[in-house]
Amino acid sequence: MSSLLSTYLGQFLVFVLVLTRVGSLLMTLPVLGSNSIPLQVRGLLAVAISLLITPLHWGLSISQPGNLVDLGLLVAREAVLGLALGGAVMILLSGMQLAGQVISQMSGMSLADVVNPTFDTTVPIFSNLLEMLALSIFFLMGGHREVMDALLGSFEWMPPGSGTLPTNLSSALSDVASHSFETGIRASAPVMVSLLLAILIIALISRTLPQLNSIAIGLNLNALIAPAILAFSLGSAAWAFQQEATGIVDGIREVFLQSTAPAPSP
């Protein structure tokens, strides 16, 4: 009876570890991780995927944790592996949101906020537009399939309970953050340059004709220039995001593979 009970406890522990890795990924992925998707739906999806993966690891021998601290460490390692995959995509998407915030601040339209369910906050309307553009490109590129493929592959490189945190994971996420910042700058560059030129022109006109209300003219001009230039430069913003997004998931996957690779023999 004790051996049967220990077998079922071992299988339940495998399911808990698989569910932790899958659930942490789904809770941070774009669209699925937003509050627009009910928590019950996300939880049911995580349980369904875990039930499909867990039988593949029934024969896995995991040392039973002796206390809650050991169990917490096992669960924490699995959670970090899932968060790294989903967090890399979220960090990359935040670059497009940054581009929209820069455009809104420079054009004086930062008060036009809308609710963003992905980040659970209110963002300028330009940020929401560029984020929706980035999400569309991400799904068209098959990024969601790459993420799920990396998740399923991670159980081959690091079976449940044997996952170790890569030493260069922080540097990999820092590289993703730098790519995200570069994407935001490149996406907002055409509008930033156009608004800067408009401000310089208004400043020269105000020095020549000081009786004109330069503030009112500048705000109205910026409100016209920003949407027009953004409409013409959406293609370049999409191209910039596509360039930076290519290989992000593969880069995180390589970090995990390097951590599981055997050390070279002397």
Task: Decide if pLDDT at 51 tops 80.
Answer: yes
Question: Residue ranges per domain, the chain?
Answer: 2-260
- Taking 50 as the threshold, does the pLDDT of residue 78 lie above it? yes
pLDDT on residue 115: 61
**Lowest pLDDT segment from 86-90, 117-121, 260-264:** 260-264
Residue, of 258 and 139, whose pLDDT is higher: 139
Q: How many CB atoms lie within 10 A of CB 104?
A: 22
Residue 210 has, within 13 A of its CA and on its CB side, a CA count of 1
How many whole angstroms separate alpha carbon 54 and alpha carbon 19? 9
**pLDDT > 90: percent of the chain:** 0
- State the Cα–Cα distance between residues 43 and 28, nearest whole angstrom: 13
**Confidence at 98, pLDDT banded by 50, 70, 90:** confident
Structure confidence at residue 266 as a pLDDT band (50, 70, 90): very low
Measure Cα distances from 88 to 143, 244, 255 in Å: 12, 12, 12
Backbone angles phi, psi at 168, to 5 degrees: -100, 25
CA distances from 127 to 16, 122, 173 (A): 37, 10, 22
Which has more pLDDT, 73 or 117?
Answer: 73
CA end-to-end distance (rounded Å), the chain: 48
Prediction pTM value: 0.73
Tokens of 51: 């039930």
Q: Which residues are CB-neighbours of 86 under 8 A, at least 6 positions away?
A: 24, 25, 26, 27, 28, 29, 33, 147
Spatial CA neighbour of 127 closest among 39, 191, 199, 218 = 191
- Kindly tell me if the per-residue pLDDT of 262 is higher than 60: no
Residue with the larger pLDDT of the pair 216 and 159? 159
Q: 62, 161 in Cβ contact below 8 A?
A: yes
Tell me what the pLDDT averaged over the chain comes to: 76
Residue 264: pLDDT band (50, 70, 90) is: very low
- Predicted local confidence at residue 24, as pLDDT: 86
